[in-house]
Amino acid sequence: MKKHIIINVGRQLGSGGRIIGNRIAQDFNIKFYDKELLDLAAQESGFDKRFFERNDEHKGFLKVLFSPFAPIFGSSNPYANQLSDESLFKFQSDAIRKAAEKDSCVFVGRCADYILRDFPNKVDIFITADMADRVKRVSETLDISEKEAEKKCIEGDENRAKYYNYYSAKTWGRAESYDLCINSSVLGIDSTIELVEDFISQKLHL
């Protein structure tokens, strides 16, 4: 019987994390979830997908400051309103947990490594890359100038870090939060994938 495994891929924006995660899923022949998670979350909650898109890997300070759900008179259950950021995260994390229990999968981002922390056969990976490579990749995929791409990378990292640090009990991008952290610029995407797959096989005795 095939072993039930979970691979979580954290990544800097533009580091090639999505490509790497996707290839790993293909090579191990397991499911792949990136943006697709938002569909799962929408299904889980019965809410429209746009609520999850608006909230996707964001938790900015201003948003916290003007949190519409912070009650003025002290009562404070963020789950009381199911459209609160916290509720939406709960729906999404329930969806992630369900998907993980059903099949072997690769999850990209969305605190999946934290949400599935008690899962037995799992590997948490974090992908970084040199800024030049990231800018190049982002500007090509989105067809924007390099300057804009660099801004996007920096903002994207900030958002992901805030989101991750708020909802998980770990720190985004810090080595101790993951099993393996790797800079995809050093070996290039293909060799990085090979190395990561080898690491996964060894850790999970595949």
Partner 1 sequence: MSNPSSPLDLGILPVNKLLGQYAVPAIIAMTASSLYNMVDSIFIGHGVGAMAISGLALTFPFMNLSAAFGAMVGVGASTLISVKLGQKDYKSAQHIFGNVITLTLLLGLLFSAVSLIFLDPILYFFGASAETLPYAREYMEVILLGNVITHGYLTLNSVLRSIGYPRLSMNATILAVIINTILNPLFIYGLDWGIRGSAIATVLAQTISLLWQMKVFNNPKELVHFKRGIYKLKGSIVRDTLGIGMSPFLMNSCACLIVILINRGLGHYGGDLAIGAYGIVNRVVFLFIMIVIGLNQGMQPIAGYNYGAQKYDRVLKVLKVTMLWGTLVTTLGFLVGELMPEWCARAFTTDKELIDISAKGMRIIVMFYPLIGMQMVTTNFFQSIGQAGKSIFLSLTRQLLFLVPLLLVLPQFMGVKGVWLAMPMADAISCIVTGTMLVIQYRKFKQLAVKTS
Task: Tell me which residues touch partner 1 (CB under 8 A).
Answer: 45-48, 51, 61, 64-84, 86, 89-90, 93, 114-115, 117, 165-167, 169, 171
Q: Is the Cβ of residue 121 or residue 165 nearer to partner 1 in the bound state?
A: 165
- Judge residue 200's burial from the number of C-beta atoms within 10 Å of its C-beta, 0-12 exposed, 13-18 middle, 19 or more buried: buried
Q: Is the Cβ of residue 147 or residue 174 nearer to partner 1 in the bound state?
A: 174
Q: Is the Cβ of residue 1 or residue 169 nearer to partner 1 in the bound state?
A: 169
> At residue 112, what are phi and psi to the nearest 5 degrees?
-60, -35
Q: Is the Cβ of residue 108 or residue 111 nearer to partner 1 in the bound state?
A: 111
Rounded to the nearest whole angstrom, what is the least distance from the CB of residue 19 to partner 1 in the complex?
Answer: 29
Q: How many CA atoms lie within 13 A of 83 on its CB side?
A: 9
Q: Is the Cβ of residue 32 or residue 167 nearer to partner 1 in the bound state?
A: 167
184 within 8 A of 15, measured Cβ to Cβ: yes
Q: How many CA atoms lie within 13 A of 113 on its CB side?
A: 23
Rounded to the nearest whole angstrom, what is the least distance from the CB of residue 86 to partner 1 in the complex?
Answer: 5
Rounded to the nearest whole angstrom, what is the least distance from the CB of residue 174 to partner 1 in the complex?
Answer: 12
Rounded to the nearest whole angstrom, what is the least distance from the CB of residue 189 to partner 1 in the complex?
Answer: 32
Rounded to the nearest whole angstrom, what is the least distance from the CB of residue 46 to partner 1 in the complex?
Answer: 5
Partners of residue 125 on adjacent β-strands: 9, 180
Measured distance CA(47)–CA(39) in Å, rounded: 10
